[in-house]
Amino acid sequence: METDFTLKNVNKILGIKESFKAPDRLMEILFDPKERLRVFQDFLELSTDMSFDWFHQYFQEEQAERKTNKQDFTPMEVTQLMNCLATLDKKDQHSYFETAAGTGGLLITRWYEDCLKETPLTYMPHEHEYFVEELSDRAIPFLLFNIAIRGMNAIVFHGDSLERTCRGVFYLQNDDDSPIGFSNINIMPRNQTVKHEFNIHKWTGEPYPDHVESNSQKWAENVDRNMMLKRKWGEIFDRSSNATS
């Protein structure tokens, strides 16, 4: 698939000249809300088609750790097939779990399918939760970016899925509960509660700094509002259906 997300364009938006700097630079951007918004807008000027992983080719060619982590990425056609098989005869699934998520190709396919099941008036991010795990330090920034720009509510476990060693756990939340909104990024603390909740055997690596952006009260108010609107849209749809039957 030919895209505008070329090496030149991606590096220009990130403000780098050498691709090996991309993961660290992207991580810096993600934890600066104002800069993150600017970068999101710049990427959306390249394309508003969010049905696929924009970084698939870029990461595969420039960032994949093929020798150390045997890292190779799932072709987009395969992600679509896997998603169809996983959701076969399961129309009301609202949660998702994936290990070795990479930069999020399969996750994005699932998210897009969830969006297509609703209309822009009835799709509400709070109804869908995604939990993914990834080991690679280089993939994590791209995974977080892909989740946040699509406004998903998600938990990202940065660590080894088998040994349950973990550097950190991220919680991304769409505070506006908006289908066109972005997600805020939060880092869960390294404490016993988080360790127990995610079955972490050992904390490893340099701890992430304390970072909280979300406003729980704002999120709850927006969810309440959207649930009320969805009920009203349902009532209008029912009346229209009865009138034409």
Q: Do 26 and 38 form a contact (C-beta atoms < 8 A)?
A: no
Residue (of 47, 45, 46, 11) closest to 29 by Cα position: 11
Is the predicted pLDDT of residue 9 greater than 70, yes or no?
Answer: yes
The 8-class DSSP code of residue 20 comes to: G
CA–CA gap between residue 245 and residue 241 (Å, rounded) = 6
pLDDT tens-place string over residues 84-115: 656 655 566 789 999 999 999 999 999 999 99
Is the predicted pLDDT of residue 59 greater than 80, yes or no?
Answer: no
When mean pLDDT is compared across 1-10, 108-117, 123-132, the lowest value belongs to: 1-10
